[in-house]
Amino acid sequence: DARVTQTPRHKVTEMGQEVTMRCQPILGHNTVFWYRQTMMQGLELLAYFRNRAPLDDSGMPKDRFSAEMPDATLATLKIQPSEPRDSAVYFCASGLFWGLAGELFFGEGSRLTVL
Amino acid sequence: AQSVTQLGSHLSVSEGALVLLRCNYSSSVPPYLFWYVQYPNQGLQLLLKYTTGATLVKGINGFEAEFKKSETSFHLTKPSAHMSDAAEYFCAVSETGNQFYFGTGTSLTVIP
């Protein structure tokens, strides 16, 4: 059963530490999204890639966040340095889009707590 | 710009009662519309989607939604709530497939 895999599922770290979250999209999907979910803001789009190229990262704090797709099977979201306000659940989602709206398949999320 | 409004952040219904979750959207072109469900500590799962064609869309777990262009709405319904329906429900809209805009979600509680 194809699914989006995210690691780690849970991460507790101290302020100032680097955090890297990883996502393995569903094989064959050409688009990967990163979302952040908090009680206050709901689901926020951070960045997304099509065919590994970044299309939009306007939702990310540029000074501390970075997103990459080193290859088609791996997307990463890095926070350096982390801050308590970054505490949230980070979701990766992938989909196959060819000019029409496909559907998003979400991973189970990475719950980040920054102390 | 697109936006999605979900009326009511919380909804409580009795088991067996009708479930109605409201979603209104704004879009400059005919949109693609989605409902996702999120169970505790899980990611979002697709319930149903509207792209083109029939405006009444049937999804999983007995849910359905109707696209009403004149009302810019895509409300989600289920005739009879089950305890297992307790979850968070998100409406989403996309015009091009490049961006998905999600509503703020409605938390459904089912009372036995």
Average pLDDT rounded to a whole number, residues A93-103? 79
For B48, counting Cβ atoms within 10 Å of its Cβ (0-12 exposed, 13-18 middle, 19+ buried), the class is buried
Q: What is the pLDDT of residue A17?
A: 97
Residue whose pair of structure tokens reads 């979250």 in the numeric block: A21
Query: Alpha-carbon distance B12 to A105, whole Å?
Result: 28
Closest-CA distance of chain A to residue B111, Å: 23
Average pLDDT rounded to a whole number, residues A6-31? 96
Closest-CA distance of chain B to residue A1, Å: 14
Q: What is the pLDDT of residue A14?
A: 97
B32 to chain A: which residues are within 8 Å by CB? 100-101
Tokens at residue B61, please? 């777990």
Average pLDDT rounded to a whole number, residues A15-40? 95
A101 and chain B in contact, CB less than 8 A: yes
Structure letter (DSSP) for residue B107: E
A48 to chain B: which residues are within 8 Å by CB? 98-99
Q: Sign of the C-alpha dihedral, residues B68, B73, B79, B82?
A: positive
A100 and chain B in contact, CB less than 8 A: yes
> Rounded to whole angstroms, what are the CA distances from A25 to A46, A75, B21, B42, B70?
16, 8, 30, 16, 37
Q: What is the pLDDT of residue A106?
A: 95
pLDDT in tens, chain B (112 residues): 678 999 889 999 999 999 999 999 987 777 889 999 999 989 999 999 998 888 899 999 999 999 998 999 999 999 999 999 999 999 999 877 677 889 999 999 999 9
Concatenated DSSP letters of A17-54: --EEEEEEPPTT--EEEEEEEETTTEEEEEEEEETTEE
Q: Which pLDDT tens digit goes with each residue over A63-86?
A: 999 999 999 999 999 999 999 999
H/E segment holding residue A91: strand A88-95
Q: Which pLDDT tens digit goes with each residue over B48-60?
A: 999 888 889 999 9
Average pLDDT rounded to a whole number, residues A5-14? 97
Is residue A29 a contact partner of residue A50, using CB atoms and an 8 Å limit? Answer: no
Mention every residue, 6+ apart, whose C-beta is less than 8 A from residue B67: B33, B50, B55, B56, B57, B73, B74
